[in-house]
Amino acid sequence: MVKLRLKRCGRKQRAVYRIVAIDVRSRREGRDLRKVGFYDPINNQTHLNVPAILYFLEKGAQPTGTVHDILKKAGVFTELSLNQTKFN
């Protein structure tokens, strides 16, 4: 099973996170399938590769709680519902 979750990067006390698609059995710093975004909680910045995120969500990937909140704030789930209605 694939999850969309945060991967910690940066210095001590200055964490930044990559949003990655990764296998559930891998550890947090393990090898990811694909990098799909970036999140900086200190400066409150996000950069998302929305087509890649939509691809993984349509294939059944489950976002973690924090990633779900980030994607919800960015409006990715509204695009997902638009894509699903467009193809039906």
Q: What is the largest CA-CA distance in the chain?
A: 48
Q: How many CB atoms lie within 10 A of CB 86?
A: 7
Whether this model's pTM surpasses 0.85:
no
How do residues 4-15 score in pLDDT, each as one tens digit? Answer: 999 999 999 999
Task: Specify the CATH class of 1-85 in words.
Answer: alpha beta
Q: Where exactly are the structural domains of the chain?
A: 1-85
* Range in 39-43, 45-49, 82-86 with the lowest mean pLDDT: 82-86
The tokens of 65 are what? 């709680």
Specify the pLDDT at position 84: 64
